[in-house]
Structure 1
Amino acid sequence: MKVLIITYYWPPSGGSGVQRWLKFVKYLQDFGVEPVVYTVENPKYPILDASLEKEIPKNITILKEPIWEPNNILSFFKKENTQQSAGFLNPNPTFFGKILQYIRANYFIPDARKFWIQPSVKYLKKYLSEHKIDAVITSGPPHSLHLIGLELKKALNIKWISDFRDPWTEIDYFEQLPLTKKSIRLHQQLEQEVVEKSDAVLVVGQTMKENFSKFSKNIHVITNGFDNDIDSTSITLDKKFTITHVGLMNADRNPISLWKAISDICNENADFTADYEIQFVGKIASEVRHSLEEYQIKKVLDVGYVSHQEVTKYQQKAQVLLLAVNNVKSAKGVITGKIFEYLQAKRPILAIGPTNGDLAEILKETNAGTIVNFNDVENLKKEILQLYSSFKNGNLESKSNNIEHYHRRNLTEKLAHIIKETVS
């Protein structure tokens, strides 16, 4: 069985967007499904990680077509190094910045990759007429790729599976965009049509499934996961009481309650003040830096972006792994991809977010850590001091279990079953 996978993010892209389908492609042939990948020939990835290229199976077909992106033009009107991803929308843009945000939000729907839709449809219709493909899979965001799948479905009536790595209109920054009412309606209409017309829909969490259930009954939850077996015996834990955050720390994730809790503890506990260290492995928003200064959190190690291989090492040697959920209306359904690699690292997880959300269920199921509500400073202090006490006693460890079904290979087996069920 052959499937055509349409994805924007592909090695040498780094970051979280590339991981899901790179790993699925890595294992699909083990379960009788041959992947053909269609991606961008000339992408402008914000993060590069060439080390991921070695995970691409050598025997698969990779198709590439060029894309024209208006972001390339808009970037000329910005100062160097100020280009931001959607998750890093500037909350205080200049007048000209507001104009650019308005144009980007209302004239490039569903996103700035919309100009890849028609060239891709033309190219893929020809390819599909010449090659036997049993199903098409589109992965978004960018959600423009789902519109490629929608057009192919309408033209060829081919089986089509849409995969939502993140929500569309329910994504955390959607309400921050300067959208007109007309633009909001258009997003909602396109989202509904994609979900309704897909033969199957993949989502990464239960809340997303519930939100889409009004449009389709054929929705499947396949979470993100972790990959490869790691040798923890060769890892030496940090000497400091490190609280390590991996990935993007944007303004919506800024855990003010944590900085307040740590500040309070430092004022009361000299040993803690000497022992703690906050580590950031990844990009930090300016709002987070300001909060660290405001609460006088001085013992900070800013590692910046490192390769995925290096990320794994930082996770394994951390004393505590910090997971901050975006404090937005849709927070209940937010499951950051890093949670699964945190599980694999087998270090205690301290999460800040809804205690009744999808993430809380995963932590409960795996016994991998604790989650505290956004503004609950007192409980945060209590949890941190308990973790610190275990650190001082030399017995700070994770007692997680039931994590193997989040291994990428096991998740791919579930995907292969859905593909075969959809095609049959």
Structure 2
Amino acid sequence: MNRRVLFISYAFPPTGGGGVQRAVKFTKYLPQFGWEPTVLTVANPSVPVQDDSLLADVNPNIQIVRARTWEPGYRWKRRFAGSRKSTSEDSIDGSRTAVNWKQSLKGWTRERAMLWMQPDPQVLWNRSAFRVASRVLKRQHHDAVFVTGPPFSSFLLGCDLKRKFGVPLILDFRDEWMLACRYLDNHQHLGDVARRQHAMMLDVLANADAVIATTRASADELGEHCQRAASEVASEVGAGRGVGASVSCIHNGFDPGDIPARSACKANESKRFRLVYTGTLWRLTDIGPFVDAVVRLHELHPELTGRLELVLAGRRTPEQDAVLKPLDRTPVFLLRHDYLPHEEALQLAADADALLLLLSGDEGAERVVPAKLFEYLALKLPVLAICPEGETNELLWKHGREYGLRVDDVVGVANWLAEKIRGLDAGPVECGERDLEPFTRSALTSRLSDVLSGCMDAEQEVR
């Protein structure tokens, strides 16, 4: 008889975006490994994109319950997302006084709201989610509670449920909490807020029975935090040195059934080298170094620049749109899409000559592994990875034949582009895969089932 887990994920279809893939694939494959998930998600998500096509991947046999959130709509969030700014130039420009006043008021309102809504606005979902989860746990026995975040406020919800029902709690960190606190637009970046969120993180880790990260570097850091949190709890009760929650690394991955073949009609009729980037462009995926390299290529080999086609598929911040402006002064063919359904984005990538992967040089980015990396590898196409030394580069070299370049290597990127454009007439290049089976969604879910079962075994030993 299968065990049952309450699977809490704010991000779940029809919500779109990269974070949804992890949750929906786990719930799709968990029954194969002896676990029946009951999914708790939000009824009226305040999110930037929806992707109804992802509903086709939801296991039809699992139970899904939804709770309403009291968050404002995403459009309202974006309206107040700007930070409070004021300059001496603005203050002496009388024609802009009203604009400045509105900007200041918006910034002040945002700061007050964010100081209240900690650790993130989705905390407004927790009260109704707790009520719905409590009804589920009272009605039917569940062997564990699994929570994936962000939003990190869902971890607080998981702790409340553990305190009330005593079930083992597993926390899945899709992103690093403090890295998100530092860089995400919807977080306050003030020192006191960061300290408050760090304390929240230690508290949830002290309550967790197991913790999962998506990179080895994140797992190592979370392991240190878990030990510290357990030791602090132990010292408070006079129990000596505490033992922290177990920490595992379960990477993101790909589902072989999602990977499309190259379109039969794709013969690059335009005779351009097509480079495709899928995903959001924002501070941690800054496209600036690539733009600098294209400008350099145009200066050295203008005849090659006209044969370059750059395709962007995904949301972009206004700052990143501004970074793209220098390309307007080159003959590069630039095609911009907004968010595309997952299957359309994958087909766009499959029809590329090469794929673009970006990570900025900001502190902490070296510990990030973009979720799309594994689908990129499964597509068996050359990957131009512009990123700092770290786990992403290591995975690229170990499991593919891709080319990783530092974010400051403008000349190296320009030379890579020149080589690929010159070799375009030789036909598409397919890279051989190297042991990608551990990154299939089924294999990753098998590892999750081991974590869940380990928590159950530990619980039974205590009893």
TM-score, normalised on structure 2?
0.84
2: CA distance, partners of 1:92 / 1:241: 42
- Is 1:164 equivalent to 2:173 in the alignment? yes
Give the corresponding residue for 2:425.
Answer: 392
How far apart are residue 44 of structure 1 and its match?
Answer: 2.4
Opposite residue 171 of structure 2, the aligned amino acid is S
Q: CA separation of 1:7/1:178 partners in 2, compared to 1, >3 Å: closer, same or farther?
A: closer
Secondary structure of the residue aligned to 2:324 is: helix
How far apart are residue 252 of structure 1 and its match?
Answer: 4.1
Give the corresponding residue for 2:202.
Answer: 192
Q: Which range moves more in the overlay, 316-325 or 123-132?
A: 123-132
- Is 1:140 equivalent to 2:140 in the alignment? no
1:212-227 aligned within 5 A = 212-216=222-226, 218-227=246-255
1: CA distance, partners of 2:199 / 2:181: 19
Give the corresponding residue for 2:105.
Answer: 96
Q: CA separation of 1:100/1:248 partners in 2, compared to 1, >3 Å: closer, same or farther?
A: farther
How far apart are residue 306 of structure 1 and its match?
Answer: 1.5
TM-score, normalised on structure 1?
0.91
Kept in 1: contact 2:307–2:421 (CA 8 A): no
1:402-417 aligned within 5 A = 402-417=435-450
- Is 1:33 equivalent to 2:67 in the alignment? no
Kept in 2: contact 1:171–1:330 (CA 8 A): no
- What do residues 299-334 of structure 1 show as CA deviations (whole Å, max 9, x unaligned)? 201122211111111111111111111332111111
- Is 1:380 equivalent to 2:413 in the alignment? yes
Kept in 2: contact 1:255–1:374 (CA 8 A): no
Q: CA separation of 1:118/1:289 partners in 2, compared to 1, >3 Å: closer, same or farther?
A: closer
Query: Residue 378 of structure 2 is aligned with which of 344, 348, 355?
Result: 344
Query: Residue 257 of structure 1 is aligned with which of 285, 289, 293?
Result: 289
RMSD, aligned α-carbons = 2.3
Kept in 2: contact 1:41–1:66 (CA 8 A): yes
Q: CA separation of 1:24/1:389 partners in 2, compared to 1, >3 Å: closer, same or farther?
A: same
Give the corresponding residue for 2:352.
Answer: 318
Kept in 2: contact 1:390–1:396 (CA 8 A): no
How far apart are residue 408 of structure 1 and its match?
Answer: 0.7
- What do residues 168-225 of structure 1 show as CA deviations (whole Å, max 9, x unaligned)? 1122744875444332221001101112221100110011112111133511111111
Secondary structure of the residue aligned to 1:124 is: helix
1:287-306 aligned within 5 A = 287-295=319-327, 296-297=329-330, 298-306=332-340
Q: CA separation of 1:173/1:186 partners in 2, compared to 1, >3 Å: closer, same or farther?
A: closer
2: CA distance, partners of 1:141 / 1:90: 22
Rg comparison, structure with higher value:
2
Kept in 1: contact 2:378–2:433 (CA 8 A): no
Opposite residue 369 of structure 2, the aligned amino acid is I
2: CA distance, partners of 1:422 / 1:113: 27
Corresponding pairs, count:
414
Opposite residue 9 of structure 2, the aligned amino acid is T
Q: CA separation of 1:388/1:83 partners in 2, compared to 1, >3 Å: closer, same or farther?
A: farther
Opposite residue 249 of structure 2, the aligned amino acid is V
Give the corresponding residue for 2:100.
Answer: none
Kept in 2: contact 1:242–1:278 (CA 8 A): yes
Q: Which range moves more in the overlay, 324-333 or 287-296?
A: 287-296
Identical positions, percent = 27
1: CA distance, partners of 2:403 / 2:304: 20
2: CA distance, partners of 1:172 / 1:380: 31
Give the corresponding residue for 1:61.
Answer: 63
Kept in 2: contact 1:28–1:412 (CA 8 A): yes
Give the corresponding residue for 1:23.
Answer: 25
Opposite residue 146 of structure 1, the aligned amino acid is F
Q: Which range moves more in the overlay, 291-300 or 413-422?
A: 291-300
